[in-house]
Structure 1
């Protein structure tokens, strides 16, 4: 039986939890709770310096608390902030980003800009991933991180996805453990089935969709339609294959591209490099404005799409390689470095190469404030000036914070 306490909570922390203190002084982190609320909490995980808990009953709710839209909020691991109105979410994320820069990068007054809001905070995702239960039901990971929550509704995917997924029928023996559903800019939908068996499962469709089966370490099988989709950003078309990453919030991706084009200095004499280039969503808009663009990407699928998407440019080179391997081989002065690394941020090897290259400008797109602040601290030690950190709300109602950080040589 878990220990129960009545705790008054102090502040929100990154990741979506709220922090209070146990009677012995240890920090207690609990989801779905707001600062100032007194909550009956069950302690579910105890460490030497801190503990994690689960809210049992909110005894005195915050005046900021609102009713969540989704029936699964409070159990589902997808959303953390549906109990806050959207304006409050924006202020909170901005404050949490500033806190990370103050604590991790040791910057007393970091140049954090106002959060750029999403034009529509609901039904914005063009791609959603479901996990399947043993009975073939669709769900998301529970907020406890330990089991599957079978769901009846979700208010984050685009309307076409939400219309389709409740109609899908997977039997208990389908062999599929994860399902991606992606809707492109023309409202065409693709199903991305994942399973361990190299042999594709039986598949029949009563609705016009593309479908692929992608076992790990094996070739993709097209079950219906095409193996790729087409997305539009600022009027430009991009091929995106089933295994390629693409930003899930298309209108916000357009806002980030526009921001970069308006805030980066580019000339026809410049050498630009993009690390973690993906399918070329940023490169396609930078290439026409610089002398030469070198792109580095380790995903074969994304490189294939990049080559299609930027085929018209003669001033673009693409290397299919890890950033750590390709960067040292570049024998060029780098005027502009654009990078959009995974959540873990930059590896020590990439930092070491940056210390040699010393690009004139750096634009760092991040989805994790903590690793961003850590990386920025190290880059600033190389003689860079931190111009601005601008957060973009690509993921309303969740604790994720995307941002664009601009740095230049002093």
Structure 2
């Protein structure tokens, strides 16, 4: 007779694992219960909440046996904010758990238990690593609130400090909150579609020290902009760029279509290794530049370039990996479906005086066959797709043309494992996988996989 788990049941359970979003997993007669705040190896008292056919959710009531890796989260709003999921787990424990996550999908989804998954490359100092912060503002009981959204909601958890973002972002978030009304600006209320300031975005160049501030407003008219500029300059004297983006729509999307310069210059500069990148208000750029260098260095190592190879960089974005690889390759061809990103990539190649990197806009599965039809031949293919993984048509294209080596950079172990299985079935052999911790204290982990035909 199977055990029946019912809503409001109070149970003592043993936590076996963590989910991809950092919740503990316990099983009652094989029935999984997801428990936010619980850690593997713990015995906990829980109260069952929602129950579905194949799994349920429970609330943590008490820890009767704590994990030796449990630590006190240094953030005062950790239990409310949805930004970090694993601050209650020691950093060493986080790295162990992230490796386990990758190992699990390599075994279960990719069916590659023999392929080595190396220990995760972590950070020496896993705090204050984000070079971009997107901070919502609103009004509550006549006061301005700002911070970050509670998990799975649009309720702002009000705070003045975020321990994974820059000090400049903290200072500006606090200053604007307390001085916004003083300069005659109201924060946005998404229920009434009133108020001016919707979001504060702060971008910092780790190597240059340059700071860009973007004020996202509900309307273009901004009569208090001079006062806002002076406030920002007072708090961050080294601010390089102040922009205004206006988003007039009733939407959860942060940016509107138009951005104007209020002060300084329209870009800031940052470097990965010895490659400089211009970053505009809307540019995609990795948010952890320290670990980006580690990630791209691993991709370069797996590419095993001697200087004679032609390389494809699919999903090339603004050319970050392409330009990194161009230093060691004969030539690099980058393809990206977003035309604006390709223009950024070309500009960044010029900025670094790199002449052996070529970029083209379009779907990779269309552009790559065109390159082959033009007589080009490639030794190595690098892919760095979004979380959904490689497009099915791109995987077919890879299997049709079969470059000797594939380096797969992934931000989602599950879709990486799915795609590795497809490439394996098409004749490739996965050599090894190296996880890299790009987002300490979150449940995310990036990986670089090396395949040979």
**The two structures share one fold, judged by TM-score above 0.5:** yes
In structure 2, which of residues 35, 50, 59 is the aligned counterpart of residue 54 of structure 1? 59
- Cα distance in structure 2, aligned partners of 1:163 and 1:298: 37
Q: 1:117-173: CA deviations, max 9, x gaps?
A: 112111111112222334442221213546332223211013333333211245234
- The answer for the alignment partner of 2:46 in structure 1 is 41
Please identify the structure whose Cα radius of gyration is greater.
2
In structure 2, which of residues 14, 17, 40 is the aligned counterpart of residue 11 of structure 1? 17
- Cα distance in structure 2, aligned partners of 1:202 and 1:56: 49
1:288 to 1:67, Cα distance in 2 relative to 1, 3 A: closer
What aligned pairs does 1:335-346 form with structure 2 within 5 A after superposition? 335-346=379-390
Residue 396 (structure 1) aligned with residue 440 (structure 2): yes
- The answer for the alignment partner of 1:80 in structure 2 is 85
1:325 to 1:141, Cα distance in 2 relative to 1, 3 A: farther
Q: 1:274-313: CA deviations, max 9, x gaps?
A: 1121222221121232222111123344323211211223
1:53 to 1:128, Cα distance in 2 relative to 1, 3 A: farther
- Cα distance in structure 1, aligned partners of 2:402 and 2:223: 50
- Cα distance in structure 1, aligned partners of 2:320 and 2:349: 9
- The answer for the alignment partner of 1:370 in structure 2 is 414
- Cα distance in structure 2, aligned partners of 1:110 and 1:48: 34
- The answer for the alignment partner of 2:187 in structure 1 is 172
Q: 1:272 offset after TM fit, Å?
A: 0.8
Residue 111 (structure 1) aligned with residue 116 (structure 2): yes
What aligned pairs does 1:8-407 form with structure 2 within 5 A after superposition? 8=13, 9-22=15-28, 25-135=30-140, 136-145=144-153, 147-169=155-177, 170=180, 171-173=186-188, 174-185=195-206, 186-194=208-216, 197=219, 202-203=224-225, 204-205=228-229, 206-208=231-233, 209=239, 210-214=241-245, 215=247, 216=255, 218-311=257-350, 312-331=353-372, 332-407=376-451
Q: 1:273 offset after TM fit, Å?
A: 0.8
- Cα distance in structure 1, aligned partners of 2:330 and 2:430: 25
Q: Give 3-state SS (helix, strand or coil) of 2:327's partner.
A: helix
CA contact (8 A) 1:94 1:391 kept: yes
Give the length in aligned residue pairs. 408
Over the residues paired in the alignment, what is the CA RMSD in angstroms? 2.4
Q: 1:329-383: CA deviations, max 9, x gaps?
A: 2223221111111111112121121122211111111111111111111111111
Q: 1:69-94: CA deviations, max 9, x gaps?
A: 11112221111111121111111111
- Cα distance in structure 1, aligned partners of 2:222 and 2:292: 33
CA contact (8 A) 1:198 1:218 kept: no
- Cα distance in structure 1, aligned partners of 2:209 and 2:149: 27
Gaps spanning 5+ residues in structure 2: where?
Answer: 1-6, 181-185, 189-194, 234-238, 248-254
Q: Give 3-state SS (helix, strand or coil) of 1:137's partner.
A: strand
Q: Give 3-state SS (helix, strand or coil) of 2:56's partner.
A: strand
Q: Give 3-state SS (helix, strand or coil) of 1:207's partner.
A: helix
Gaps spanning 5+ residues in structure 1: where?
Answer: none
Deviates more, 1:68-77 or 1:6-15: 6-15
CA contact (8 A) 1:132 1:176 kept: yes
Deviates more, 1:291-300 or 1:270-279: 291-300
1:5 to 1:54, Cα distance in 2 relative to 1, 3 A: same
Q: 1:384 offset after TM fit, Å?
A: 0.9
